[in-house]
Structures are given as C-alpha cells and as structure tokens.
Amino acid sequence: MAETTTTLHCANHPDRETMLRCNRCDKPICYQCAVRTPVGYRCKECVRGQQAVYFNANRFDLLIAAAIGVVLGGALGGLGYAVLGFFGWISFIAAFFVGPITGGIIAEAIRWSVRRRRARRLNLVAAGACVVGAALGGGLVAVLFSGALLPTLLLIGMAASTIYARLR
Ligand SMILES: [Zn+2]
Ligand SMILES: [Zn+2]
C-alpha cells in the first residue's frame, strides 16, 4: 500500500502530519484524534458510529464500481464470446489465464476510480456487476453470431472471482 509513503494530514487538524488512517473510514487522523480499539486505530466519529457522510460516499463508490463492472464486464463477455470460438479447446486454457488477468485489470480500474477508498461489499458489487455486464455483452454478441459459450463462462468466472478477491 502507498499509505505509508505519502504524507497525510489529520482530517481534524490540517496542520498536523500523520501516517495513521482510521481503519474503518480511511480518514487520516493524528495520534491525538486516533482511538485505539481492539481492531486497530479508528477516528472518534467511527468509534461513536456517527459517520453519515462516509456512508453517502460509500453508496456512490458502489455505484461507480457497479458501472465500471458492467461496462468492462460487458466488453470482456462480448469479446470473449466472439473471439474464444476461434481457438477450439485451447480457448479453455486461454480463458483460464486471461480471466484472472482481465479480472485484475478491472479490479484495479475500480480501485483507482473509487480513489482507493474501501467500501463494504465493494468486491461483491463489482464482481456481480461484471457478471451482469458479461451476460449482457455476451448475449448481445450471441444475437449476431454463435461464439463459444463454455470458455466464455470460464473466462468470466475467473475474472469475477479475481475481482472478488482483489477488492476484498
Ligand atoms: Zn487530529
Ligand atoms: Zn473513521
């Protein structure tokens, strides 16, 4: 993580540099603002359970993740279905290797667009959106001509499980 190399400023004391973040909402906090809990350092707002603004941002993050997942998953599903058919049995091996790579790329794209904030269920939403997008993209291509269904399912399965694991 890049957290330790960049200089952060406490959210409550902008003049104070810190290397701590609240482990729940990711907000930079100084040692005075940090509350030590059994699960690590947290900001006072999170300890009190009063982070309404954070949860709004969260929902928006999930929306961004879902949108990116659907679009990139759609491209992957459409392309996979169209292209994998040309490779016969090798397409299964290709899907086995390409799936995790593309899943990793999609996961990083989502992580980057939510500014590395961590949101609850982000991985589930992103992986689910990718599957939905892939079904739409693959279905769209399937209307035009018949491609390879089974290797595409493998491809999407590998990609989605990678996204799920990466964004956990
Ligand atoms: Zn502070
Ligand atoms: Zn917090």
What's the CA-to-centroid distance between 102 and ligand 1, angstroms?
Answer: 40
Report pLDDT for 47.
85
| C-alpha–C-alpha distance, residues 39 and 62, integer Å | 24
What's the CA-to-centroid distance between 48 and ligand 2, angstroms?
Answer: 9
**Pure H helices in 13-121:** 44-48, 52-84, 90-113
pLDDT in tens, 33-62: 999 888 889 998 888 875 554 444 567 888
For the chain, domain boundaries: 2-48, 52-166
User: Collapsing DSSP states into helix, strand and coil, what is residue 96?
Assistant: helix
The pTM (predicted TM-score) of the whole model is 0.65
What's the CA-to-centroid distance between 116 and ligand 1, angstroms?
Answer: 22
